[in-house]
Amino acid sequence: MKKNKREFISIYFEDGSADGRRKRDLTIAFDNGSSLYKKCRNLGSARIKEIIGIYSYKKLTENARKADRPLSNFIKHILKKKLGINE
């Protein structure tokens, strides 16, 4: 059985290194060839934050916690809704 290759996009947050984190970015994994990845791969970090309406890492973690979702899942969920992707 052949495994699907994964693709990655990083989203950068000014306050990303807060709360003891060492990195300022959050890396999101996508299935290779997914509709969501194809739409997002050329958007860039700033545009993705604009689409999801969240510009700080702290706000992202708060919203994801309220939605009871992991960070990357939360971001992909919002992107799918805002971009009209049903996969």
How distant, in Å, are the alpha carbons of 43, 48, 72 from that of 37? 10, 12, 13
What is the amino acid identity at position 74? F
pTM assigned to the model: 0.86
Residue 1's pLDDT band (cuts 50, 70, 90): low
pLDDT at 75 > cutoff 60? yes
Q: How many angstroms separate the CA atoms of 44 and 82, rounded? A: 16
Phi, psi dihedrals of residue 59, rounded to the nearest 5°: -65, -40
Letter string b/e over residues 28-57, b meaning 16 or more CB atoms within 10 A of that residue's CB: bebeeebebbeebeebeeeebbebbebeeb
Per-residue pLDDT at 2: 57
Per-residue pLDDT at 17: 66
Across the range 18-37, mean pLDDT stands at 84
Residue 19's pLDDT band (cuts 50, 70, 90): low
Per-residue pLDDT at 3: 65
